[in-house]
């Protein structure tokens, strides 16, 4: 059973880089670290008085099914006393549904015009990266992909004219998570997909390039397990260490949004966690989900209420704008005519049920992804095998941020 650091001990020291001390400790191969102080949210945390589990209410709709998630009432959510604003959700995905995101990260998000680290490794034509999984060298070298506003790593900046429409499926997933946690105004605008191998690390840093740092940051991981460290606003705060397993979601909000964090080590995932994450539902359970999704329509993946939501086509396109962050108010060059900006579907802050309805009606008109169908397709050994092979020695992390403050553009930010 893990032991836990006392909250009475002094966690910060004005002179010592306590973050580096722990980073080096967990990174070390000789000697390897002990994990006694690493929080394991998979097991009971009731003996850890610094960790507070909490539950969400049952939703009135079935939108979670469309997104391949368990009902929010089943999510195991945690807060940590020493990291105000940090929320940990232990794998909220339905069994097998993480397959969809693994495929998206490796096959869809890596496509041009998104940027990847491979662009500088190989200065060749855009179709080079169409089949990363089929090329062992590319698999080994893949480190990151940027989504939405393409992050400039050198200058640590985002630019108005370096924007690729944010993936609607990931926009909907993160907006849904945000709304359930009552971040009613969160808009996903930029993402980094990080790819780790067994010897990869990510050094201590804060994410401070976004113009809105009051909005939460969503971090969703798949595959091998990481040791994740999160400290305070400077490296003088001793970080808290936790295991991040496949499917786990970390939300950094409040003061945790600007806290130093790092991944000092990747460790082999426990096999039962990989089974829980990637084993497809039995035919019967699959059919059950499908029946719920299709209860009100022929071939739609939408939950029944989506069909009854009466929303005009115009409203739908505005809804889409609201949820997928392609906000005319924010994006220069604009996707939508500016006169449609002020009218719109219920704004997220109005009421949670309305924003969900907004998501649903948006989905019915504008968003064409069908997670359920894709997971079914990934059900054959032949289609899933390359991804499974990749994950045997890799971890994928989707890191999603809001860049601009509500109602701001790049020109009127300051």
Ligand X SMILES: O=C(O)CCC(=O)C(=O)O
Pick one of 48, 219, 224, 363: the residue that binds ligand X (CB under 6 A). 219
Using CB under 6 A, which residues numbered 234 to 273 contact ligand X? 244, 261, 263
Nearer to ligand X, 261 or 265 (CB): 261
Pick one of 86, 397, 398, 405: the residue that binds ligand X (CB under 6 A). 397
Number of chain positions touching ligand X (CB under 6 A):
13
Contact 387, 195 (CB under 8 A): no
Nearer to ligand X, 135 or 206 (CB): 206
Stretch that binds ligand X, among 54-62, 71-79, 219-227, 269-277 (CB under 6 A): 219-227
Cα→Cα distances 299→121, 302, 374, 405, Å: 43, 9, 14, 38
Nearer to ligand X, 50 or 202 (CB): 202
- What is the closest distance, in whole angstroms, from the C-beta atom of residue 36 to ligand X in the complex? 21
Question: Under the criterion CB under 6 A, does residue 398 sit at the interface with ligand X?
Answer: no
Q: Give the sheet arrangement for strand 225-230, strand by strand.
A: 38-39, 240-244, 225-230, 261-267, 202-205
Q: Give the sheet arrangement for strand 190-197, strand by strand.
A: 51-54, 76-80, 86-90, 249-252, 217-223, 394-401, 190-197, 144-148
Question: Under the criterion CB under 6 A, does residue 114 sit at the interface with ligand X?
Answer: no
Question: Under the criterion CB under 6 A, does residue 378 sit at the interface with ligand X?
Answer: no
CA distance 23 to 237: 12
CA distance 391 to 220: 15
CA distance 290 to 148: 31
What region, left, alpha or beta, does residue 223 occupy, with left being phi > 0 and alpha being psi -120 to 50 degrees?
left
Nearer to ligand X, 103 or 395 (CB): 395
DSSP state of 14: S
Preceding peptide of 31 cis, ω within 30° = yes
Question: Under the criterion CB under 6 A, does residue 202 sit at the interface with ligand X?
Answer: yes
Among all residues, whose Cβ is closest to ligand X? Answer: 397
- What is the closest distance, in whole angstroms, from the C-beta atom of residue 77 to ligand X in the complex? 18
CA distance 229 to 402: 22
- What is the closest distance, in whole angstroms, from the C-beta atom of residue 351 to ligand X in the complex? 32
- What is the closest distance, in whole angstroms, from the C-beta atom of residue 234 to ligand X in the complex? 17
Which residues of this protein are in contact with ligand X, per CB under 6 A? 192, 194, 202, 207, 219, 221, 226, 228, 244, 261, 263, 397, 399
């Amino acid at each position: 059973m893990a032991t836990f650091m006392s909250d009475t001990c002094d966690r910060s020291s004005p002179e010592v880089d306590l973050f580096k001390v722990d980073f080096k400790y967990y990174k070390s191969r000789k000697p390897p670290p002990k994990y006694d102080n690493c929080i394991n949210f998979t097991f009971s945390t009731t003996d850890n008085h610094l960790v507070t589990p909490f539950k969400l209410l049952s939703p009135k709709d079935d939108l979670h099914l469309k997104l391949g998630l368990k009902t929010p009432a089943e999510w195991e959510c945690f807060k940590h006393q020493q990291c105000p604003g940090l929320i940990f959700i232990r794998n909220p995905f339905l069994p097998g549904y993480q397959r969809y995101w693994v495929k998206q990260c490796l096959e869809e998000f890596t496509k041009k015009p998104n940027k990847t680290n491979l662009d500088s490794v190989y200065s060749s034509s855009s179709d080079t990266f169409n089949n990363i999984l089929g090329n062992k060298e590319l698999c080994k070298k893949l480190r990151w992909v940027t989504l939405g506003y393409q992050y400039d790593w050198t200058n640590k900046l985002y630019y108005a004219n370096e924007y690729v429409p944010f993936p609607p499926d990931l926009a909907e997933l993160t907006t849904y998570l945000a709304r359930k946690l009552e971040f009613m105004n969160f808009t996903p605008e930029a993402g980094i997909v990080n790819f780790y191998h067994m010897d990869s690390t990510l050094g201590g840093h804060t994410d401070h390039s976004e113009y809105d740092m009051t909005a939460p940051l969503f971090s969703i991981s798949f595959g091998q397990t990481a040791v994740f460290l999160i400290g305070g606003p400077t490296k003088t705060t001793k970080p808290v260490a936790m295991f991040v397993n496949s499917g786990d979601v970390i939300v950094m909000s409040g003061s945790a949004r600007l806290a130093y964090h790092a991944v000092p080590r990747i460790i082999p995932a426990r096999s039962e966690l990989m089974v829980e994450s990637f084993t497809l539902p039995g035919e019967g359970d699959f059919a059950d989900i499908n029946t719920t999704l299709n209860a009100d329509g022929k071939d739609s993946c939408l939950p029944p209420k989506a069909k009854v939501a009466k929303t005009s086509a115009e409203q739908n396109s505005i809804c889409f704008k609201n949820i997928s962050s392609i906000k005319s108010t924010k994006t220069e060059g604009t996707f939508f005519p500016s006169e449609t900006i002020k009218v719109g579907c219920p704004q997220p802050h109005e009421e949670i049920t309305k924003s969900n309805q907004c998501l649903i009606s948006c989905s019915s008109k504008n968003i064409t992804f069908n997670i359920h169908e894709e997971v079914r397709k990934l059900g054959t050994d032949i289609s899933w095998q390359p991804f499974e092979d990749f994950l045997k020695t890799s971890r994928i992390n989707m890191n999603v941020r809001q860049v601009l403050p509500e109602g701001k553009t790049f020109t009127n930010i300051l």
